[in-house]
Amino acid sequence: MSMDDVFKALADPVRRQLLDSLHQRNGQTLGELCEGHDMSRQAVTKHLTILEDANLVATRKDGREKLHFLNPLPIFEIADRWVRKFEHGRLRALDELKKNLEGKSDGKR
Amino acid sequence: MSMDDVFKALADPVRRQLLDSLHQRNGQTLGELCEGHDMSRQAVTKHLTILEDANLVATRKDGREKLHFLNPLPIFEIADRWVRKFEHGRLRALDELKKNLEGKSDGKR
DNA sequence: CCAATACGCAACCATTTGGTTGCTTGTCAA
DNA sequence: TTGACAAGCAACCAAATGGTTGCGTATTGG
């Protein structure tokens, strides 16, 4: 579950939609998660595997069904780290950017 | 600057490193940003273009140099939306996940 | 028991991605 | 003015991605 895996897992709209679906109703089976997606079951399986590898989804087998559960913790971790990193001057960020784009060799370099 | 563009832009370690570099020192030229990356200038240019398309980096031409500036706002927006969406039960998320994985047909379905 | 259901596995394919090289353009400085 | 430097453009390539199909396996309900 490297950080890169989480970023890459989140970079696909289908996978984000799968997370959304699990957020609405947790513990869905593979078949249920396939509904509404215009692709084969195997394609959805591949996406779910990527989400599992990123530790965003955990599974449990129940009989012949496979239940999927959302794990939002990696999302929180990444958000924390990345937001905190750039937090400095969050409010003034737009102003600073504007000035930088207008300013001609403003001396900061 | 769709949300998908931002996610995809952040999904590559080279691009995240470029954002880091700009965070350390804003307004770097293309040549400066290339230093320390074991790839051609053109490869870095492509990554920077993706960051520009995602509105994470803005540029200004200064003579024969091109200056690059970080725009952290899209990161904040995405973090806000996604963290808020899954915020519910953030603290208990891990416990709930554990129980779901252990529990056999806990009746919620 | 056995047929249907739910899922797994693997080969295959088209497109996208991430990189390269070669050449061109524009700007500065000696 | 002209050579060197910074960056742009375009063609090309290998590998990863995202999808497909066909078939195999295990579980369950009638």
- pLDDT tens, A31-65? 999 999 999 999 999 999 999 999 999 999 999 99
CA of B63 to C1' of C23 (A): 22
| Contacting residues of B for A74, CB less than 8 Å apart | none
The pLDDT, as a whole number, for residue A85 is 87
CA of B106 to C1' of D15 (A): 45
The domain tally of chain B equals 1
CATH number at A29 reads 1.10.10.10
Asked if residue A46 keeps its beta carbon closer than 7 A to nucleic acid strand D, the reply is yes
Residue A17 is assigned to a structural domain of this protein:
yes
For chain B, the average pLDDT equals 90
Distance CA B56, CA B15 (A): 10
Distance CA B44, CA B21 (A): 13
B90 with A69: Cβ contact below 8 A: no
Residue B85 is assigned to a structural domain of this protein:
yes
Distance CA A34, CA A28 (A): 10
Residue B109 is assigned to a structural domain of this protein:
no
- pLDDT tens, B56-76? 999 999 999 999 999 999 999
Distance CA B30, CA B65 (A): 8
- pLDDT tens, A92-106? 888 888 888 787 644
Domain hosting residue A33, numbered range: 3-102
Distance CA B31, CA B65 (A): 9
